[in-house]
A and B are shown apart, each in its own frame.
Chain A
Amino acid sequence: MATQRISGSEAVIKSLLEEGVDTIFGYPGGAIMPIYDALYDYDQQVTHYLTRHEQGAIHAAEGYAKVTGKVGVCFATSGPGATNLITGLADAQIDSIPLVCITGQVASPLLGTDAFQESDVVGITMPVTKWNYQVTNAEEIPEAIAKAFHIALTGRPGPVLLDIAKDAQFAQFDFEYKKCTKIRSYLPEYPVDPFQVKAAADIINAAKKPIVLFGHGVIIAHAEDELKEFIEKTGIPAAWTLLGLSALPTDHPLNVGMLGMHGNYGPNIKTNEADVVISIGMRFDDRVTGKVAAYARQAKIIHLEIDPAEINKIIKADAPVLGNAKKSLRMLIDNVNPNSHREWLDEFRACDKIEYDKVILHDIHPQKVGLTMGEVVRIASEKTNHEAILVTDVGQQQMIASRYFQFKNSRSNVTSGGLGTMGYALPAAMGAKIGKPERVVFAMAGDGGFQMTIQELGTIAQYNLDIKIIVLNNNFLGMVRQWQQLFFEKRYSFTEMKNPDFVGIAKAYGLASQKVTSRDQLENAVQEMLDHQGPYVLEVVVEKEDNVFPMIPTGASISDILLEP
């Protein structure tokens, strides 16, 4: 490729184009102005979305990455711009989301002098990035960006940050771009070892009561088809983690529901009755395991995992299978015998019946006067034929939505799992909509989380992002209130909120909006929202003190999951 003499700033944009980037979320400021200036000439090739806060930009990039499988790109200026990214970086790090974040930095002679808007961004972001690097010479830009994309997307993905000094943005140099495909100190994934596969297959072939637990890794590895083929061949019931949601259709006969603290009754208690646990692309988070000492002790554990540090980290694996889930599942499929586990599966269905009668029925078809979150979620899912993308915030509404929303397609659930970041839904939904404009995108948030990033309504209005926003308003920091009720003698310490007029706020931003307070309005309101062309804010006032059940109290065994208080 011929070289061209251009500025560091232009090299940033050209390098991004070389990586196939057409979407950037960001917020400008002094130290990144040269890059923004270069961007001005490239508006035909790349669309930049100006958010209302850098946290909004990075969560949008996460939402975009999750629904597309591509790297999310985000710009911010030095100092406060960069520090506003931290929550998003931590979120992307723990949930393995590929991001490339570019921050401006003061000119290199000023580094370490407490210059205006200087902060040690590389130092601050070190624990919350997969890799970061400070660029002080324009010549380094193409290689740094090429490396950033390679690292962000391969292996176990994660966020990468490049901090580019202002003088490097201005400097002219001969630009040449070469993609990065290999770094000698970095092995993205281990080749799958056929002996490990064989050992796992032998255990599976002898299993009487096996269960598959699958997580985000299946989606990241694009291994949905292999997962389906594997469980269908072996007849093994499969349960998803919060981040595994949508990797398998909800109504698949072998899908037995969600694991974890507010997951389904069957998969939780049955994990402790299974003779073999096959975990695929999941990391035994404490919200899934409950008390580790009482977790799946009776079972042989098979762990398909790309990250060697996850194997034996929480739960010791009897048969680890290191590598990319798509490849290891393919090999496993070839080594397992066709089977079915009818009676064992029936045990799950019996559990479902118990859970339905005790919990689900009252959540999604309530008889009481007040509205429940569950019925709102059910209606939203039904009215979109279970084909929408669900973006949730954090708290009760997140758990209820994850329990009752149904999925037909993978990459349709966007939520903050590991970090539990309130304020995530609204900006992440922007990225999801931009990444998948043809899909209906719901953003579901509580009254608390909605107000953490409510200013992104400005972005949604400016770009007319057709997101269906549902605010499930219980006038409480509901999930915290639930814990206060159950474990702190109902001492509601600072969890009740005096909320603003959400409809008024939406209208002030120029968005269509409506408030629903009773059941007879609900279906029509959801329909109106869906019929409306463009963004819509639907506030639903729900019961103030409803609780999410089932529940595994912190520190309890999954066998002691509660169906009611």
Chain B
Amino acid sequence: MQKSVSIEQPVMDNMQPAKSIMVQSSKDTDFEFTGTVGNIAAANPRMVTRNVDVFYGEKQAIFDVSLDIGTNEVIAMIGPSGCGKSTFIRCLNRMNDTIESCKVSGEIRLDDKSIYRKKQDVVQLRARVGMVFQKPNPFPKSVYDNVAYGVRIHGLASNKMELEEIVVSSLRRAGLWDEVKDRLDAPGTSLSGGQQQRLCIARTIAVNPEVILMDEPCSALDPIATARIEELIDELRENYTIAIVTHSMQQAARVSQRTAYFHLGYLVEVGETSQVFTNPAHKLTEDYITGRFG
């Protein structure tokens, strides 16, 4: 009974229980990692990661993670704070390249080509694998320019009309159009937090990436804005592949088809979302999920 997920309740998350779990498990000394539980493979993989290790200097943050991300699926990544979810997701578009001390090894492929190969251009990769960050980070430019920026630098629109079309349709799909159509010239930073986050999503989908990475996109939002973005994720799934990091179990349950549970840098369990939440195979996953409900 305790394990059942109350999917209907859009309650804001409280990280407290998750934290206490982490403290406990790190107190029971290092847990013995005996390999990821569940099926890491996806039927129709868009991205494939194998034996990924990530180091920040001497400190290892990700241990031997292998995981597929299927085409047109939403995969949720959950786990206690500091377990390496952000680190892992940032490997998928090489955002970690910007951190001097960060070293990634192992294999990460997009459509069967390694993204860490020498010939891979990061600019092209990031156009194909877009990212939405935890904190809304619009440019200090107008709403219009925020969305148009990526389109412009990649030369995706051949003329002004086309550019405008892309901007408008992106804002529409991000569910922001009605709120900003009268103030496209206003600075993006003047929008509310939720609007800013949707603006960032519009900016990302304007480039028309194949994969969208979202790192806790709703952590700064109220339940209504969160519900909007979850709806949006559901719609986007038709055309995109989405990896989302979240601290909200309900959110993971609502939007994702598969769920991956990370713990202290290890991928402990991965499987169908319904199965992971109702019948977790690993003790740690169970602790984490049930801990949420006390």
The answer to whether A and B interact is: no
Residues of A within 8 A of B (CB): none
| B residues lining the A interface (CB < 8 Å) | none
